[in-house]
Amino acid sequence: MIDHWQSPVKICSTWMVLFAIDTMISGIVSSKADDVEKHLELGRDFLSRGLLQDALSHYHAAVEGDPDNYLTYFKRGTVYLALGKAKFALLDFDKVLLLKPDFKSARHQRAIVLFKQGEFEEAKVDLAVVADGSDDPFTTEAYNMYQLLPQLESYKVYAKHYHSMADYRQAIQHLDYLIENCPWSSEFRELRSNCYEMMGDIQAAMLDLRSTTKLTSDHTVGYFKLSKLQYRVGHVEDSLREIRECLKLDPEHKECFPHYKKVKKIDKLLVHIEESIRDQDWADCVRHAKSIQRTENDEPMITYISHEKLCHCHLHAEESEDALSACNEALAIFKEPNVLCDRAEVYLLNEMYDDAVRDFDEALQINPDLRCAKEGKAKAQKVQKQAEKRDYYKILGVKRNANKQEIVKAYRKLAQKWHPDGYSGSEKKKAERKFMDIASAKEVLTDPEKRRKYDQGEDPLDPESGRHPDGFNPFQQFHQFHGSPFQFKFHFN
């Protein structure tokens, strides 16, 4: 009897547990459905306001909440498409058509993606389905795309043919039309990039190649090629950035890693050079520039950079012979206006005024607004005009970069030679003129402010006027002779 009565109790208990579980599951499902609908509603709201990333995050949540709902995938796919993320849009449209093969809107959107990617065979299949019928608002567009496919396919064949024949201009003309209609095709852009590269238009080649790295995920080859092109034109910092993107995708890439090591070293040397220039440590600047030459001697533009830096640093170190050699080497590779200005300054140091003016003029032809060329030309012309009248450096027989000690030493020697008290008759007049020139040269070149003015093309003693400012008298520079006319003493400021 006990067993007879226990069985109904067990059955009742089991039923109640199952009922509770079913109720709980129904509640969860209902709650989940509400959450999905809420995310879809928020997604629609953000989409209507153009907040695509916010809309995308809610469609992500909707897909996770209901992974079998083809509409959630479709809506997310359209947002991906609006964001230009064609690859992810394509995956969502594939999923939609897996769940609901007769959903024409998804097939139409997938056809658009495939068409713009240049996947003509796959696009043709979808377009044929979409274009078949008159009840769909997309059929006219689909039909037009379908009609255009044969022409695009022939252009693709011709583009590859001309590329293989090295007729890059014809290849580019066909690729321009293909890319105009298929802007998401990394294949067409990469082919056009190669054409531009072969024609020497590296900037255009880089633009196309950069697009391929955005169109194709995990494009290590694209980043490597882009880095190589950046390095080839001397954009070392940009090259380093691109090669790092390659290594993010594949840290052990057999081509990216060795290139990264070299570019990183060159970049580090360039940073050291800029620091040396800032600190005016010209010897250190020269040392690092020569290190670049030892590291890289195959790429002309990197070699150019090393010569350009050597030109600038040798100039400021007043090593005119080395500076002129480096400037010439740099300009033989690339006519850069700032390097022309540096070489012109070297010419000025060597009193080669016509050459200096010629370089400043050439720099201005390249860049009419270049300040160093404008100011440099004006200075060179003033100094040249000044040299034709009275050149204090030539009078003392010293270089334009001579220091005060060298100037005073030259002055002592010449003043002793040409002091008028050592001459008589007609020779005395000549000695007086010589002596005045020597004393004037010493007066100007040992005074920092007067020398600065003179180096800018202005004679602070105004030789044309025949007067000297501030009551300057060259003979007051000396004591009276005692005995022999050469037994005199000098006093110097």
Residue pLDDT, tens place only, 311-355 = 999 999 989 899 999 999 999 999 999 999 999 999 998 888 899
Q: What is the DSSP letter of 475?
A: G
Using DSSP's 3-state secondary structure scheme, residue 317 falls into coil
In this prediction, residues 360-384 reach a mean pLDDT of: 93
Among left, alpha and beta (phi > 0; psi -120 to 50; other), residue 69 is: beta
In this prediction, residues 78-98 reach a mean pLDDT of: 88
CA nearest neighbour of 234 among 324, 334, 158 = 334
Secondary structure of 153-212 as H, E, C letters: HHHHHHHHHHHHCCCHHHHHHHHHHHHHHCCCCHHHHHHHHHHHHHHCCHHHHHHHHHHH
H or E segment at 416? helix 404-418
Does residue 272 contact residue 284 with C-beta atoms inside 8 Å? yes
Does residue 366 contact residue 337 with C-beta atoms inside 8 Å? yes
Confirm whether pTM is higher than 0.95: no
pLDDT (tens digit per residue) in 121-159:
999 999 888 877 655 555 677 888 888 999 999 999 999
Q: What is the DSSP letter of 484?
A: S
Give me the chain's average pLDDT, please.
Answer: 84
Burial 206-245 (b: 16+ CB within 10 A, else e): bebbbbbbebbeebbbbbbbbbbbbbbbbbbebbbbbbeb
Domains of the chain (ranges plus CATH)?
A: 394-477 (1.10.287.110)
pLDDT (tens digit per residue) in 16-41:
443 444 444 344 344 567 787 888 88
pLDDT over 50 (residue 104): yes
Least confident of 233-237, 429-433, 470-474: 470-474
pLDDT over 50 (residue 419): yes
